Structure formats: structure tokens, C-alpha cells
């Protein structure tokens, strides 16, 4: 019996899937089983995965999203003590599984262990920021996790399989990527404490913030509904704090783009703000979105006395790290 089941969901990941699989097979913890779930790819992803032969298990399904792919992958795995989920565009350092297993072996009442990451862009260049800053470099309490989005990323997590199965795995109400993982972390935190290793051991491939947050918009609506239903007033505060902040960030960037005459960027930023802002903000946001169809001079004039403040960009920077 492998101690760790490693699930790699993949959809049209031909450019990166081999790097992810290779990093899983190269772990210093050799008691692992690797399952690749092809989530309805139309490129060479399944053929590349099949080329690994019996070193991995390949599961194929029609395109149903990463939550169902991860759950189905673990369902296809043999018995294991732990489960880990590596995204198909991320890469593990050789010691990540061994380190996270060691953290949970030493803390039998903890349900999940996670570490820091090294963010890279689509070209593979390292980005000059950390996902987990000094204030977040610890295992969170439930109160902290209900106060704001906590920087735990799926590829940097290892969890007890029994706890994962007890909460029902990733909610399959998330049929697209986006916010399925922070909802799972809340459920897992109900089961017991977490462990944090203050070391970046995952290379995390990220995309431009605006593209990413537009993609995750539908998932946020599902997250908001599930969190509010489960945690009541505390869940509502989390949704309002997170969504309101994202709405504020993209409103600010939309106004900045409008001031600079970039109406297309302003329009996309306001569209993103509409996905996350609350009902009170949407009426004003719709008006700002409509201004992006006006001549640039008129659009700037109607936007009023907007002043660019560099310190606000720095203040908002952590909200791009998701």
C-alpha cells in the first residue's frame, strides 16, 4: 500500500503535464501512487500521460472540471494514508511529499499540512513576490480562515485521506476552477488543526491577475453560496470581505486604465469588479463600465477626480496572489 496517493488533474495540459508527472515520480518519498486524470483534453495530454506506462495510473473522463477530476482520481487510487493534489502546470521540489508527510506524522491530530510556493509566469520566469508573507507564515485557526482568504494553494497541500473523504472531497458544485480549494480548507479545518512548513517547495505557474480573476468569477458565486449556508453570519462576513476587496481592487484598476485612455483594459477590469462586488457597488460599476464605450476624453471627464496612489497598488498586491 502506498502511503500517499498523488492526483494530477489535467485538461489540455500537453505543454506542462510531463514536468508535473516527472516531479511527482522524482519524490524522495517513494511510497506514492500517481494517478493522472485526463479531464476531457483535446490535445496530446492523454497520449503524453500514457507514455509513462505502469509508472502511473491514467484515468479519462469527459470534461467536468478539476473538483470532479480530483475526486475521481482519488477514487481510482488504491488504499493510502495521505492524499495530495498536484496541478498539471505546477512542479514539486523532490522533498515536498516527504516533508509534508513528516509534518503530519509528527502531529497525529492535524489533518492537513502545507508549504510556501515559488510563483513563476507563463514563460517560467520567477516572480518577485511570495504567496505567504510574514503575517501569514503559520497554520491558521478557524477564526483566521473565516476572516479572509488564506494563502493555501492546492499543489502545496498534503492531507489525511480519511479526513478528506469524511468531508466529501472537493465540492462537485464547483464545475469550473475557482474557489473550490478554499472551501475545502474550511471543511478540513473543522476536522482538526493544520501544519505549516515555512519553505517554498512548489513551483507554481500563475497567469496575469485579471485573466485569473475573470476565470474564477463563477466559482466565487458558488463559494459565496456554500460558505454563507454553512457558516451563517461568519461566512457572510468572509464573502463580503473577500468579494468586496476584489471588487475594490478591480474598480481602482479600471479607473486607472480609464484615466490613461485604455478603455478596453478598463472595461475588463470593471467586468471583473462586477463579478465580485456586492449589490450596492454594482449600480455604480455598471455606470463606469458604460463609460468605457464613450470617447476617451469624455470617459475621463465623467470619472471625476480620480487620483492614482502607488501605495494602494502595494496595499492590494496580496489580493492578486490566488
The pLDDT of residue 253 is: 87
Q: Tell me the average pLDDT across 34-39.
A: 98
Q: pLDDT digit string (tens) for 196-222?
A: 999 999 999 998 888 889 999 999 999
Q: Quick check: 313 pLDDT over 80?
A: no
**How far apart are alpha carbons 269 and 254 in whole angstroms?**
5
Mention every residue, 6+ apart, whose C-beta is less than 8 A from residue 99: 115, 197, 199, 201
**How far apart are alpha carbons 10 and 89 in whole angstroms?**
8
Residue 318's pLDDT band, with cuts at 50, 70 and 90, is low
Decide the pairing of beta strands 110-120 and 193-205: parallel
Least Cα distance to 101 among 61, 145, 161, 159 occurs for 159
Q: Where in the chain is the domain with CATH 3.90.550.10?
A: 4-206
Q: Tell me the average pLDDT across 101-121.
A: 97
Percent of residues, the chain, with pLDDT higher than 70: 93
Q: Rounded to the nearest 5°, which phi and psi values hold at 210?
A: -65, -45
Least Cα distance to 254 among 266, 272, 268 occurs for 266
Q: What would the grid cell of residue 110 be? A: 492535524
Q: pLDDT digit string (tens) for 113-166?
A: 999 999 998 888 998 888 888 889 999 999 999 998 899 999 999 999 999 999
Q: pLDDT digit string (tens) for 233-281?
A: 999 999 999 998 888 889 888 888 888 889 999 999 999 999 997 777 7
User: Does 3.40.50.970 match the CATH number of domain 4-206?
Assistant: no
| Residue the block writes with cell 501569514 | 136
| Residue spans of beta strands (DSSP E) within 91-162 | 91-92, 110-120, 157-160
* Helix or strand (DSSP H, E) at 294: none
The pLDDT of residue 152 is: 96
Amino acid at each position: 500500500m502506498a502511503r500517499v496517493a498523488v492526483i494530477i488533474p489535467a485538461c489540455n495540459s500537453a505543454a506542462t503535464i510531463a514536468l508535473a508527472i516527472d516531479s511527482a515520480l522524482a519524490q524522495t518519498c517513494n511510497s506514492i501512487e500517481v494517478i493522472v486524470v485526463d479531464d476531457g483534453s483535446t490535445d496530446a495530454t492523454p497520449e503524453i500521460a500514457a507514455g509513462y506506462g505502469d509508472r502511473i495510473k491514467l484515468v479519462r473522463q469527459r470534461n467536468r472540471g478539476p473538483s470532479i477530476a480530483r475526486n475521481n482520481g482519488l477514487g481510482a487510487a488504491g488504499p493510502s494514508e495521505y492524499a495530495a493534489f498536484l496541478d498539471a502546470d505546477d512542479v514539486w521540489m523532490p522533498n515536498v511529499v516527504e516533508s509534508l508527510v513528516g509534518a503530519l506524522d509528527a502531529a497525529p491530530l492535524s489533518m492537513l499540512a502545507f508549504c510556501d510556493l515559488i510563483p513563476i509566469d507563463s514563460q517560467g520566469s520567477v516572480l518577485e513576490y511570495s504567496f505567504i508573507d510574514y503575517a501569514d507564515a503559520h497554520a491558521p485557526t478557524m477564526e483566521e480562515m473565516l476572516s479572509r482568504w488564506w494563502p493555501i494553494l492546492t499543489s502545496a497541500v498534503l492531507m489525511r485521506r480519511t479526513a478528506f473523504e469524511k468531508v466529501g472531497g472537493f465540492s462537485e458544485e464547483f464545475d469550473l476552477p475557482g474557489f473550490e480549494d478554499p472551501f475545502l480548507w474550511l471543511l478540513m479545518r473543522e476536522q482538526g488543526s493544520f501544519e505549516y512548513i515555512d519553505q517554498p517547495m512548489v513551483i507554481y505557474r500563475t497567469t496575469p491577475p485579471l485573466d485569473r480573476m475573470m476565470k474564477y468569477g463563477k466559482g466565487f458565486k458558488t463559494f459565496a453560496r456554500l460558505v454563507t449556508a454553512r457558516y451563517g453570519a461568519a461566512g457572510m462576513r468572509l464573502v463580503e470581505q473577500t468579494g468586496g476587496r476584489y471588487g475594490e481592487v478591480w474598480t481602482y484598476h479600471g479607473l486607472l486604465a480609464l484615466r490613461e485612455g485604455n478603455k478596453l483594459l478598463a472595461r475588463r477590469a470593471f467586468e471583473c469588479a462586477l463579478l465580485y462586488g456586492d449589490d450596492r457597488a454594482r449600480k455604480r460599476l455598471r455606470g463606469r463600465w458604460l463609460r468605457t464605450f464613450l470617447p476617451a476624453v469624455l470617459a475621463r471627464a465623467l470619472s471625476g477626480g480620480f487620483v492614482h496612489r502607488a501605495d494602494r497598488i502595494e496595499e492590494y498586491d496580496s489580493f492578486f496572489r490566488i
